[in-house]
Chains A and B, each alone.
Chain A
């Protein structure tokens, strides 16, 4: 006679969070493919839109900030400088913005079939990566024309910057994606954050302009504590700095600031995952 152990039984609907997503990589892949297919369905330009938008954004900023405000006279290879920052911020905006909307957007599915719901923010992040890739290729092409010769350390800085944005945006996406189910205000709040993201990190200007204006006191520390500041500076150090004569001042302790930003982002991800799991049980009835 066989007997049953109660520990074979599990409570349905209580997954292992992000770890479950690793186990269902195939589904993530299909969700990403669906998202890309659906987004460009019936559009003539298709995936080309994901090049066109950053290109237009780049041209506008280049003329407004670089030519009219004259920054291109102070910063060597301003085009490469500008674009490496824009690429980092665009990746952040797309991953964070779409992850925030992902649970509400997939409401029909969330209400009817149990899946580890972290799948949806993770798919949003992955879609953002798919869009990041061609932009990085364009950036590298531009940097090469400007004479890019990066060292191993400088390439490592780029990888660290990428990790910071990835972990930070996923953490924030989980946090606000969950809150958005209960309070739709979260979407608008996130739009607000994304609107200022370009301006509170050194994308359109040089970091020394910030210290000239606010000194190196607590405000400057706060400015540097922003993981996006670290990520943008890491991208500059990877893609722009080796394309110049390397005389521009590098942000002091950039390596430590980068690692600190990664640590802070990991903390945000833990907080995001905890909040997400807290609200997870309510998703189906709140949608």
Chain B
């Protein structure tokens, strides 16, 4: 086993022993294409206005940080500041244009709870399908199935098709599957608005358990009180740039004073 020195690591800053996520000088641009029809393409090209068919904007601009095991990090910022894009890059759904994202271990992304649920399948079938999508093996799902159903508190409807669920029931089951995947890195995007207050408390307790077990958590939320309570570190983004990276109270205070 070789130690990593500055020289070997090159542009990547040296990861510590507990580092889980490395975000290194990451830039992400989006090209918005307004239209793709051949007719419009020809017409606009002839009028020499082809460049106005697309317009680019930079969602993330030269963002760098490390996240360690057991750290709970809140990503803060207004809509469109690049929080969700950052989560998508860490989960692998999207790729960077410049810079690098590196992760160690498996990532479970809750970019949106219930992605991968199918309304025509029963709750039970969806637990298996969604569990497998989030990276669990058949054995793991079998072992945790009872816990998942118990946590969701909808056991009497587990063999009903999900399309007959209320939105609350649906989100409970989806969240329950996700928090039982036990990933090394847990990405949460605005999902703690799930269910009624007792259920929210239960979710927060479960997230604290994951944190205590040494999992790295990255949480995107607009509920500043909740994240201040749950996370110890905050990263504030504005128009794709990191404004603050420090204790969550500092980041939340800065966010409140700015906006």
Q: Which residue numbers of A lie inside 8 Å of B, CB to CB?
A: 1-6, 8-14, 24, 26-27, 30-31, 33-34, 37-38, 41, 108-115, 183, 281, 284-285
Interface residue stretch chosen among B12-20, B152-160, B217-225 = B12-20
Q: Specify which chain A residues have a CB less than 8 angstroms from the CB of B129 in the assembled complex.
A: 30-31, 34
Q: Specify which chain A residues have a CB less than 8 angstroms from the CB of B133 in the assembled complex.
A: 27, 109, 113, 115
Contact with A along B101-122 (1 / 0, CB 8 A): 1111001010110011010110
25 contacts between A and B (CB under 8 A): A2-B17, A3-B1, A4-B15, A6-B4, A6-B15, A6-B102, A9-B15, A9-B104, A10-B102, A11-B92, A11-B100, A12-B92, A13-B93, A13-B94, A13-B95, A37-B120, A38-B120, A38-B121, A109-B116, A109-B133, A113-B115, A114-B91, A114-B109, A281-B94, A284-B93
A12 to B109, CA, bound (A): 11
A184 to B1, CA, bound (A): 49
Instruction: Give the size of the chain B interface in residues (CB under 8 angstroms).
Output: 44
The answer to whether B91 and A4 touch across the interface, beta carbons within 8 angstroms, is: no
CB distance from B124 to the nearest CB of A (A): 12
Q: Given A6-B12, A26-B132, A34-B129, are A112 and B3 also a contact pair (CB < 8 Å)? A: no
The answer to whether B92 and A112 touch across the interface, beta carbons within 8 angstroms, is: no
Q: Specify which chain A residues have a CB less than 8 angstroms from the CB of B121 in the assembled complex.
A: 34, 37-38
Which 10 A-B pairs give the minimum distances between C-beta atoms?
A13-B92, A12-B92, A114-B92, A112-B115, A9-B102, A281-B95, A27-B132, A112-B111, A284-B93, A3-B3
Q: Is B36 an interface residue (CB 8 A)?
A: yes
Q: Is B2 an interface residue (CB 8 A)?
A: yes
The answer to whether B104 and A113 touch across the interface, beta carbons within 8 angstroms, is: no
The answer to whether A183 and B94 touch across the interface, beta carbons within 8 angstroms, is: no
Pick the residue among A3, A41, A112 that contacts B17 (CB under 8 A). A3
Q: Specify which chain A residues have a CB less than 8 angstroms from the CB of B95 in the assembled complex.
A: 13-14, 281
The answer to whether A8 and B107 touch across the interface, beta carbons within 8 angstroms, is: no
Q: Is B209 an interface residue (CB 8 A)?
A: no
The answer to whether B4 and A5 touch across the interface, beta carbons within 8 angstroms, is: yes
Contact with A along B173-215 (1 / 0, CB 8 A): 0000000000000000000000000000000000000000000
Nearest to B185 among chain A residues (CB) is: A12
Q: Given A26-B138, A30-B128, are A113 and B93 also a contact pair (CB < 8 Å)? A: yes
Q: Is B125 an interface residue (CB 8 A)?
A: yes
Q: Is B8 an interface residue (CB 8 A)?
A: yes
The answer to whether A4 and B115 touch across the interface, beta carbons within 8 angstroms, is: no
Q: Specify which chain B residues have a CB less than 8 angstroms from the CB of A110 in the assembled complex.
A: 93
Q: Specify which chain B residues have a CB less than 8 angstroms from the CB of A285 in the assembled complex.
A: 30, 94
